[in-house]
Structure formats: structure tokens, C-alpha cells
Amino acid sequence: MELKTRGTLFREFFSAEPAFRWRQIVCALFDPTLSGWGSVTTLSKFLRNELSAHVSWMSLREGMVLRSRNGDTEKALLECSDGAKIETVLMRNARGHWSVCVSSQVGCAMGCTFCATGRMGFSRNLSEDEIVDQFRFWQYRLRQTGEIVSNVVFMGMGEPLANYESVRAAVRTLIEYAGIGPTRITVSTVGLLPAMRRLLDDPLWPPVRLAVSLHSADSATRKRLMPTSFDRFLDELVAWTTEYFLRHGERRRHLTFEHILIRGENDSLADAEKLARFSRRVGKVKVNLIPYNDTSNPYRGSESASVTRFAERLREVGVVATVRKTMGNDIAAACGQLAAKKSE
């Protein structure tokens, strides 16, 4: 059964309220100094009581929070109202800015062979509230130190574009009420082309950053690593990227190809050459190289020398390539490690 969002419940129970009331309510939800409907003194006592009776203040319950040894990453296990469990991550970069990694689904149906979430299977989509409340959870925790969240990445559990409406709604809410600019939000995708084509024509899709999980510019290798891939995926991705730049040339810098580096699978200089050739086909798109993080399967991460050689080869031929810093792998909070486990 689909969970009703706070917005739906408000329209059901408070249809006689003026239009501005909903904005008051959402602004209160994003005020980290407030702890529940009873503390929202901008609303009448009657309305506060009615909201407490019918609308949840927080759709998620804290289960467990782990902190990495160096203190730059925290991972939270959160429980939904139906008992489903998800994970979300808070990360601090070298400049001291905090980013939140949110999940968009309980589990994932994409089945990427290197990903712990993919081995969970798919349970259900998260609602807009359940996505947004991951951000609010960390917002409340950071209030203790007077810090704020600067960036949000949809790179947690699930395929964001397979939950298109809820992710779009959550992104719009974060932009409007949390003060997070669209270029500080990144939505990742395995390359779900029907949804990617949809957003090209969607006037409600915000101009956020997009990160396409490429992981190999060789079709056979990509299909082995990512079962959702198909023979003509790379050609169709080129066509989509061309159309994206034609329509949204100003967002060229907002598109990234992600490439996880797995020892003996996709980390050779020959793999780098194929990726370089593919990058030239689509124009100047940044490539983000991700060292593989152990998820208890036969794969192993590339040696640091291989990562360096791979990145240098791309740069030699003019590809803008960065290497992502691994964060939180000691608490299974790094890329590909989220699996909603109670203990590590």
C-alpha cells in the first residue's frame, strides 16, 4: 500500500485552511530548532493538536548511527513507519562542508554485481517525505555543532530515476525550503534511459547535477557488471547526451560519468583508452573515478598505482578526470556498501 505523504494528509484533513498554511508547515519542518508540531508556535494550538493527531513530524525513526574512525563520515540506519530499513550517510569534505547521501528506494532492482544494495533486491520506493526526512535527520544532528548541510547526493540505496515522481518532488522541496541550490544537488542513475529522456521534456525537473554510472565503455564488460545494460546502451547514451547539451548547454558542467575501478575487470590502460574514446564522442564530460569498496564479493579494488595510471591516461588525451576520495569504508558507508544492516 502506498504511504500517504504529509502533503496528501494535509489536503485531506485541513482542506479549509488557507493556501499559505502549507508553506508555514513545511518551513517549520525545516527549522532544526523545532522538535515537533507542539513547538510550532506560528500555528494555532488547535491546528498543532490536529497535526499531531493526523500528520507525522518525522517519517523515519533512528535505529543506529555509526561514525568513521577519522570522524569525516557518519552512517545512520533508519526505520520507516512500515518497518522497512534504509541507510543514509553524512560526509565532510576537506573544506569542512557537509554532504548528505540519501536513499531513494528500499533495496534496488538494478542488480549491479559490485553493489551491496543490488544484492538486497527491491522492496519498494521511498516517499517524498522519507527522502526529505533523511536530510532533516542530519540537519537536526548538525544543529548541535552549529553546522549545516551544504550538498545533497542521491547516491544511497536504490535507483533514483526508477522513483521519478518522489525524487523530483523531494528535490524541489529541498531547493525551495532547505536552501540547497540546484547545483548543490546531484542525482545519480545507472543510465535509466526512458526516465532520462523524460526529464529532458519535464518543465518540473530542476536543473540539478546528473551523474551517470558508466563503469565501462566496453559493452560486454558493462553488461557483465550491470545487468540492466544492453548492446546499444553506449550509442543511446551518446544520443541522449547530445540532446541534453542541445537543450541545456548551460548545464554541460553539471553532467558527470561515474566509473568504478575494479581490479582486473575495468581498470586496465585498454579500458582507459576505450573510456577516452567514448568521452570524445560525447564531448567534454567530466569522468569521476571511484575506487571500488569491498562488499563481500569476489571483486577487489584496483591498486593505487592502477588508479593513478588510469586517471593520468584520461588526462593525457584531454578528459577531465577526478578520483573520488573514499570516505566511510570502515563503517560500510562508502559507495556501493549500503545494505541496511543492523551491525557492522
Largest CA distance in the chain: 68
Whether the CB-CB separation of 59 and 80 falls below 8 Å is answered with yes
pLDDT of 195: 98
For the chain, the structural domain boundaries read 1-57, 59-176+328-344, 214-324
> In a 3-state reduction of DSSP, which class is residue 321?
strand
pLDDT of 2: 67
pLDDT of 259: 96
Taking only the tens place, the pLDDT of each residue in 229-242 is 999 999 999 999 99
Whether the CB-CB separation of 105 and 163 falls below 8 Å is answered with yes
Helices of type H across the chain = 6-13, 20-29, 45-54, 128-143, 164-177, 193-200, 219-225, 233-247, 269-282, 304-316
Fold match flag (1-57 vs 214-324) = no
Write down the catalytic residue from 80, 108, 112, 335: 335
Q: What is the DSSP letter of 262?
A: B
CATH number of this structure's domain 59-176+328-344:
3.20.20.70
* Superfamily of domain 214-324 in the CATH hierarchy: Aldolase class I (3.20.20.70)
pTM above 0.75, yes or no: yes
Whether the CB-CB separation of 217 and 275 falls below 8 Å is answered with yes
Grid cell, residue 260, equals 568504478
Average pLDDT of each block of 10 consecutive residues along the chain (344 residues)?
A: 85 91 96 95 95 96 90 92 95 91 96 86 96 97 92 96 98 96 96 97 95 97 96 97 88 87 96 95 90 81 93 95 76 54 48
Grid cell, residue 330, equals 570502515
pLDDT of 344: 41
pLDDT of 297: 74
Q: How far apart are alpha carbons 89 and 91 in whole angstroms?
A: 7
Question: Is residue 335 flagged as an active site residue?
Answer: yes
Q: Are strands 105-107 and 122-125 parallel, antiparallel or unpaired?
A: antiparallel
Taking only the tens place, the pLDDT of each residue in 115-172 is 888 788 999 999 999 999 999 999 999 998 889 999 999 999 999 999 999 999 999 9
Write down the catalytic residue from 74, 87, 128, 130: 87
CATH number of this structure's domain 1-57:
1.10.150
